[in-house]
Amino acid sequence: MEKKIKVLKCVRCDKHYLPPVNTCSNCEEIFREFSEEEVEGTGKIYSFTVVRVPSKHYKDLAPYLLAIIELEKGLRLIGRVICDDFSKVQIDQPVRLVSSKDRMHSFALIK
Amino acid sequence: MRKVSIIGVGQTRYGNLKDETLRDLIAEAGCKAIKEANIKRKEIQAFYLGNYDAVSFIKQNHLAPYGAGAIGLKDIPCIHVEGACSSGALAIREGIIAIGAGLYDIVLVVGAEKMNSLSTEDVTEILAQAGDYETELLAGATFPSIFGMIARRHMYQYGTKREHLAAVAVKNHSNGAKNPDAHIQKKVTFETVMECDRMVADPLTVYDCSLISDGASAVVLCATELVSNFCKKTIEILSIGQASDSFSMHLKDDITTFDATVKAANQAYKIAGLKPSDIDVAEVHDCFTIAEIIAIEDLGFVKKGEGGESSFSGLTSLTGEIPVNPSGGLKSKGHPVGATGVGQIVEIVRQLRDEAGLRQIKGAEIGLAHNFGGSGATAIVTILRRAN
Ligand SMILES: [Zn+2]
């Protein structure tokens, strides 16, 4: 279980990406050299939902709270927010990464 | 580019069609369209099939000749086009390009999908694959959950309410009740929708989601310069725009608008020399109620952020200023994904020919269809006009 998120930085223009990324869309010339960094995984909720009808892949997990998280460096990802009371969750609420496994990033609300 | 017209349309009923195979559906829609165009099969010079995922749904690949065989088309080029839920409109666009370029005079386009062969869980997984498998599906997203997040953000930014979403569902069910091809031909009351607690992906309930349907739709396209030889009620294709956006929804700057829709619409309006207020009737891609609210904003029928309130106030009803989804939309007519984009064109053609029965928009001359794939990575906007 990783507690940080791997990010890639364009060596030419410093724009950050979450993998997978193949070319920098910010650079006009085709550029595909990236350096690896890690971020702590703190951010805030951009939007959220509760998945009640899951795909087969996560059928044992539902219902779960799913959100688009805005991380540091302008990065956004889809992640799960682990919480007991879904009704307490709001847009803009701060969250931090608690685990990252098999492409599923899990966050907790920061009180 | 040569101009292109529609000389015949055909369609199966949409629904949970247990007794019919994909082959049966393609054959029924295709043959009806050929008959209506009053042409012989051998006059068709190419066949385009829009289908999303027969491989997963019914374990069939190499679909274009499979479909052509069902209709009894021989020897001609057969092309399968896939663009998730926009496969149908993409197939039509390829046919238009080929005729426009002078390659053919007459082509047949069929959109078809057989979805009710699997469990809801399996279908949910297959539909989620229209998004990014690595960053969306494996991250826990489903198709409804993506639109749940879009709805929540739209509510946050523009004050859109549950009542507004419900109004879209009520309207589309009311329209679908007047469409003999619709999957669900039953009205629902505003109270029923508002009181529904069967959440799929908050704030979306089952009433906000389109249906899992089987069905096929077909159109015969013909070079406009030749149409006088065929059908009496020709519909001209004035323009068809297509654009793309980020493949992953969370990489978009603003999830409450679909850039590809805006760009495809701008292309279509520009080529046709028309503006949003010139449109008499529209079929839009309401895979979820929130998607219709955003579509009427992105297509320029209302200002950004006013889609919810406008839907609630009746602007888009059959008798409103700009009737949207008279067929019942994906919500009530149904959403056999590969068929949907072609089915929208079938409805617009029927409206412009004054053949839409109880749901007819009086005097409709110019119609628009809006079809998109996945969470908006592909969008197509088509504008049609009744020929005089
Ligand atoms: Zn760069």
Q: Mapped to the 3 state alphabet, what secondary structure does B183-210 carry?
A: CCCCCCCHHHHHHCCCEEECCEEHHHEC
Q: Which domains does chain B have, with CATH numbers?
A: 4-118+212-229 (3.40.47.10)
Sorted by sequence, the CB contacts under 8 Å of residue A33 that are 6+ apart come out as A10, A11, A12
Write out the two tokens for B142.
């489903």
- What is the spatial distance between Cα B156 and Cα B159, in angstroms, rounded to a whole number? 6
pLDDT band at A103 (very low <50, low <70, confident <90, very high): confident
- What is the spatial distance between Cα B36 and Cα B143, in angstroms, rounded to a whole number? 36
- What is the spatial distance between Cα B339 and Cα B49, in angstroms, rounded to a whole number? 9
Are the CB atoms for A31 and A12 separated by under 8 Å? yes
Predicted confidence (pLDDT) at residue A85 exceeds the cutoff of 90: yes
Collect contacts of B271-279 with beta carbons under 8 A, ≥24 apart.
B271/B238, B271/B239, B271/B241, B272/B238, B272/B239, B272/B383, B274/B238, B274/B366, B274/B383, B275/B300, B276/B300, B276/B301, B278/B366, B279/B322, B279/B366, B279/B367, B279/B368, B279/B383
Sorted by sequence, the CB contacts under 8 Å of residue B61 that are 6+ apart come out as B54, B55
- pLDDT for the residue numbered A1: 58
Residue (of B43, B11, B45) closest to B29 by Cα position: B11
In the residue annotation, B85 being an active-site residue is answered as yes
How large is the average pLDDT for residues A35-46? 94
Contacts A–B by Cβ distance under 8 A = 100
- What is the spatial distance between Cα B182 and Cα B180, in angstroms, rounded to a whole number? 6
Mutate to test the interface with B, among A18, A51, A60 (most CBs of B within 10 A): A51
Chain B window 196-255: which residues touch A at a Cβ cutoff of 8 Å?
199-204, 250-251, 255
pLDDT band at A2 (very low <50, low <70, confident <90, very high): low
Of how many residues is chain B composed?
A: 388
Predicted confidence (pLDDT) at residue A3 exceeds the cutoff of 90: no
Q: Do B201 and A50 touch (CB under 8 A)?
A: yes
- pLDDT for the residue numbered B58: 95
CA of A10 from ligand 1 middle (Å) equals: 5
- pLDDT for the residue numbered A100: 87
| Amino acid found at B57 | F
User: Which parts of chain B have pLDDT scores under 50?
Assistant: none
Mutate to test the interface with B, among A8, A21, A68, A99 (most CBs of B within 10 A): A68
- pLDDT for the residue numbered B52: 98
- What is the spatial distance between Cα A15 and Cα A64, in angstroms, rounded to a whole number? 32
Q: Which pTM was predicted?
A: 0.97
> Computed over its alpha carbons, how large is the radius of gyration of chain A?
15
Nearest Cα residue in chain A from B133: A103
Nearest Cα residue in chain B from A106: B139
Residues with CB under 5 A from ligand 1 (ion): A 10, 12-13, 24, 26-27
- What is the spatial distance between Cα B184 and Cα B179, in angstroms, rounded to a whole number? 9
**CB-count burial class (<10 Å; 0-12, 13-18, 19+) for B241:** buried
3-state secondary structure of B26: helix
The packing angle between helices B162-176 and B289-298, to 10°, is: 90
Out of B121, B152, B202, whose CB is closest to A55?
Answer: B121
